[in-house]
Amino acid sequence: MIPTYLKILHDTTHKNPMWACKMLPVLIYWAERSTKPHTYGELSKEVGHRTDQIGSVLGLIDDIFKELRKLKRFKELPTLNCLIVNKTTMLPSNGFSYVSHNYESLSDEEKSQEMESKNRDAYNYKKWNEILKILELKPYMPKDNSSDENTIRKGKYTHHSSEGKKHKALKEYIYNHPEVIGLKNVSSRSMEYTLLSGDRLDVYFQLKDGTQVAVEIKSEISDNADILRGIYQCVKYEAVLKAERCVHCTKGNHYPVKEILVLEGQMPMEKASVASLLNVSYKDNIKPQE
């Protein structure tokens, strides 16, 4: 007799089970290797499904998990559905009420607290490989970046001896309009800000609450290798800012540090996977406006 959870997942009369088979390995991969939620757009890029139709697939995944929780060894199986959030609010959509029935009635702060609690359970869960096996799914394998990695190591990525017009235009646009990348309450800003490692940030912001934000800019002429390099640059910049904070901060003055990779074009799917794995924030399709 076929278990109900397999009947739901492998029902060939509907399309949602097919998409659930694609999404579940990605969600489990993120739960095992990441420590922050991902957007509907990121999930859409990974599996090729329309962003506005992801909710119904997540609902099906919840149905499958409800069946799995009937098994004693999976009684504590956490939800994966609030790993996915709206890009603007950074909260799950109200469709999450299918999982948590009072979700829509909560304040944004309460929604955030519930999301963080449920995601901690997902990050700490130790049986994700067993879940994949019982659902007869293969683990997610990120797309191969070895070619672009070799390009970087050989120094053949897109770069110029002097700053290009497109890069400068996008950099100045972000400097003057931090709100387009979600930054508010800016108290100070700088272009070509020098870190104590000697690296220079394209744009640097300090917010009124003390948060420091390093911004790396990649214009539309940047190739995939240069975008991958930008992800690793953000990792380095965040680490250096945290090191500076460690040296200069007094007790009780522990301000946050953030990094954002800004792309004029669209983030390639395989690069989005690397950014997600390394917890690098990015904003793509940012076009300078007159």
pLDDT of residue 253: 66
Average pLDDT over residues 118-140: 94
Residue 251: exposed, middle, or buried by beta-carbon count in 10 A (0-12, 13-18, 19+)?
Answer: exposed
Averaged pLDDT score across all residues of the chain: 90
- C-alpha radius of gyration, the chain, whole number: 21
Q: Where are the beta strands (DSSP E) in the chain?
A: 38-39, 84-85, 186-194, 200-207, 212-218, 257-263, 281-283
pLDDT of residue 48: 80
pLDDT of residue 45: 82
Q: Is the pLDDT of residue 143 over 80?
A: no
Comparison of pLDDT for 6 and 201, the residue scoring more:
201
Q: Is the pLDDT of residue 269 over 80?
A: no
Query: Of 10-19, 104-113, 149-158, which one has max mean pLDDT?
Result: 104-113
Average pLDDT over residues 99-121: 93
Q: Is the pLDDT of residue 248 over 90?
A: no
| Antiparallel, parallel or unpaired: β 84-85 and 38-39 | parallel
- Provide the pLDDT confidence category of residue 10 given band limits of 50, 70 and 90: confident
pLDDT of residue 250: 67
- Provide the pLDDT confidence category of residue 1 given band limits of 50, 70 and 90: confident
pLDDT of residue 66: 95
* DSSP string for 112-141: HHHHHHHHHHHHH-S-HHHHHHHTT-PPP-
pLDDT of residue 19: 93
Q: What whole-number percentage of the chain has pLDDT above 70? A: 96
Locate tokens 């990525």: which residue? Answer: 157
Q: Is the pLDDT of residue 14 over 90?
A: no
Note the pTM of the prediction, 2 decimals.
0.66
Compute the distance between CA of residue 100 and CA of residue 55 in angstroms, rounded to an integer. 14
pLDDT of residue 162: 53
Average pLDDT over residues 112-130: 95
pLDDT of residue 252: 61
Closest C-alpha to 84, from 31, 8, 127, 33: 31
CA distances from 277 to 21, 106, 162, 232, 281 (A): 21, 30, 32, 11, 11
- Provide the pLDDT confidence category of residue 26 given band limits of 50, 70 and 90: very high
Amino acid residing at 96? F
